Amino acid sequence: MNRAECQKLIDAYVGWLRQGLSAEEMGETCELTTPFLDRHNDHLQVYATRRNGNIMLSDDGYILSDLRTSGLELDTPKRKMVLDSVLKGLGVRVENRQLVVEASDANLGQRLHSLAQAMLAVNDMFVMAQPRVASFFFEEVRNFLDSHDIRYTPRVKLAGKSGYDHGIDFLIPKSRRRPERILQAISTPKKDNIFAYLWTLSDTRAARAGESKAEAFAFLNDQEQPVGGDVVEALNAYSVAPAIWSQRSTYVDALAG
């Protein structure tokens, strides 16, 4: 992709955000409805309240409450570890069973972006459509990489040209044969997650233009339902390898090289 194409993607993403965002005053709280959808296809909502001169952003407990209602408690060491890893990577914490982040007027946009990313990541990572699914998709991808002795750094935060930080699941260092590789584990491949990942790549690539161009991969979970052709086409259009999970063995050489 050239610079003009990268800018076009950023403009399209920002336009989509603006069109899908709305705010409503609720006493001393502002309710912000985002265009991002949860696993029920409901729009994610963020609540903003002034506290000690700063702005406290919260999901009002929705994400964790929804998971508990669905029968998924986060009370095992492994689940707590994964949750902590996701949230720490984005600067978000749990407070009174709510996902929260504190912001100032200067960094409000970045903090809001981080909270929305955290809500999507936790919602996506802990979704287990069937009880027989033994582990989270992120863990499955990590076990796959480990089994093939593929070097990587998990849970990397990369700064984008926009000034926003982006969470990357796996960063594989460059070798003598291949450039750096960025790998995202997408448990529920759908428009929101794919669009967000494409923007993340465009934004971080623009900020790291002086470095060797990284290759990008998206592991797509097809264990419960097939991955849509529109998802594959969107990734191919932006030079991202759509690594279908059932075909993962075909990507070993590209990741291990």
Residue range(s) of every CATH 3.30.1460 domain in the chain: 20-125
User: Strand, helix or coil at 169?
Assistant: strand
- Rounded to two decimals, the pTM is 0.57
Shortest CA distance to 255 belongs to which of 210, 218, 206, 213? Answer: 218
Cα–Cα distance measured from residue 5 to residue 10, given in angstroms and rounded to the nearest whole number: 9
Residue corresponding to tokens 């070097």: 151
Directed axis angle between helix 191-207 and helix 229-237, to 10°? Answer: 10
* Residue pair 184/219 in contact by the 8 Å Cβ criterion: yes
pLDDT of residue 131: 42
For residue 81, what pLDDT is reported? 80
Q: Give the 3-state secondary structure percentages of the chain, helix then strand then coil, rounded to 5.
A: 40, 25, 30
Residue with token string 């999901």: 59
CATH number 3.90.1150.10 is the correct assignment for the domain at 137-256: no
pLDDT tens, residue by residue, 226-239: 898 889 998 998 88
Integer Cα distance of 142 and 139 in angstroms: 5
pLDDT tens by residue, 31-56:
999 999 887 888 999 999 998 889 99
What was the pLDDT predicted at 34?
92
Residue 193 confidence (pLDDT)? 79
Predicted local confidence at residue 128, as pLDDT? 47
Dig out the tokens for 204 from the structure.
Answer: 């971080």
Q: Output the pLDDT for position 221.
A: 92
CATH 3.40.1350.10 domain locations along the chain: 137-256
Instruction: Give the architecture (CATH level 2) of 20-125.
Output: 2-Layer Sandwich (3.30)
H or E element, residue 127: none
Chunked in runs of 10, what are the mean pLDDT values of the chain (257 residues)? Answer: 73 82 91 89 92 92 86 74 83 93 90 91 63 63 95 89 84 90 90 83 75 84 87 90 95 92
Question: What is the per-residue pLDDT for 212?
Answer: 53
HSE-CB at 25 with a 13 A cutoff on CA atoms is: 2
Alpha helices in the chain (DSSP H): 3-20, 62-69, 77-90, 108-125, 137-147, 191-207, 229-237, 252-256
Give the Å distances, CA to CA, from 62 to 29, 51, 91, 125, 191.
16, 20, 18, 15, 22
Residue 129 pLDDT: 38
